[in-house]
């Protein structure tokens, strides 16, 4: 059998920064764009929705090749989430609906979910990371550990040490009431 409709699909969702565009500063750094790479029996398929079109590529690799390992090594600032998607019985979930046509909307449709309030890649990442969808199971997540450590260091530098011995009390200067 060449095609098994009940088989579980293995999809890798990649979150990363894309080129600079209007409104891009509103997104969380590292989560301005997302696309998917799916491992299938005959190879790997990349679905990359952009602002102008949706590109689909068949990657020149076999089923057993370490495509994601190579991608993570070459793109250390990207976050990669592995999800396993099984077929769900509720056909109403996959029926096309009106919504934003964006990278997040295309990936949601590919996963078989409809979340109209999820519009940014960061929101999609957080929703999938909760592992709350019945037919989707989250596997591994590759994230840049050094980037997280640097952000923690930046937060710690912003905090000032508390020196309780020399702390002065601050009072509001109120005018004295005149009688």
- How confident is the model over 84-139, as pLDDT tens digits? 998 776 655 555 566 667 889 899 988 988 888 898 999 999 999 988 888 889 99
Q: Does pLDDT of 66 surpass 70?
A: yes
Euclidean distance between CA atoms 65 and 39, whole angstroms: 10
**pLDDT at residue 113, as a whole number:** 86
Q: Does pLDDT of 69 surpass 60?
A: yes
**SS3 track for the chain:** CCCCCCCCEEEEEEEECCCCCCCHHHCCCCCCEEEEEEEECCEEEEEEECCCCEEEEEECCCCCCCHHHHHHHHCCCCEEEEEEECCCCCHHHCCCCCCCCCHHHHHHHHHCCCCCCCCCHHHHHHHHHCCCCCCEEEEEEECCHHHHHHHHHHHHHHCCCCCCCCCCCCCCCCCCCCC
Compute the half-sphere exposure of residue 29: CA atoms within 13 Å on the CB side of its CA.
Answer: 5
Residue 11: what are its φ and ψ, rounded to 5°? -125, 135
**pLDDT at residue 61, as a whole number:** 86
Nearest to 67 by CA among 166, 169, 142, 129: 142
Structure tokens at 57: 């590529």
Comparison of pLDDT for 25 and 58, the residue scoring more: 58
**pLDDT at residue 30, as a whole number:** 84
**pLDDT at residue 34, as a whole number:** 92
Give the predicted TM-score (pTM) of the model: 0.73
């Amino acid at each position: 059998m060449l095609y098994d409709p009940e088989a579980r699909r293995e999809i890798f969702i990649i979150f990363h920064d894309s080129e600079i565009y209007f409104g891009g500063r509103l997104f969380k750094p590292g989560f301005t764009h997302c696309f998917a790479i799916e491992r299938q029996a005959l190879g790997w398929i990349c679905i990359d929705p952009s602002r102008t079109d949706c590109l689909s590529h068949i990657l020149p690799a076999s089923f057993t090749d370490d495509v994601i390992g190579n991608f993570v090594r070459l793109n250390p600032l990207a976050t990669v989430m592995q999800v396993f998607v099984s077929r769900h019985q509720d056909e109403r979930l996959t029926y096309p609906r009106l919504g934003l046509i964006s990278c997040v909307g295309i990936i949601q449709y590919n996963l078989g979910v409809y979340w109209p309030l999820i519009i940014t890649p960061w929101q999609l990442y957080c929703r999938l990371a909760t592992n709350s969808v019945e037919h989707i199971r989250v596997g591994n997540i590759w994230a840049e550990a050094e980037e997280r450590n640097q952000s923690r260091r930046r937060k710690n530098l912003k905090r000032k040490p508390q020196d309780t011995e020399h702390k002065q009390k601050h009072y509001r200067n109120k005018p004295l009431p005149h009688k």
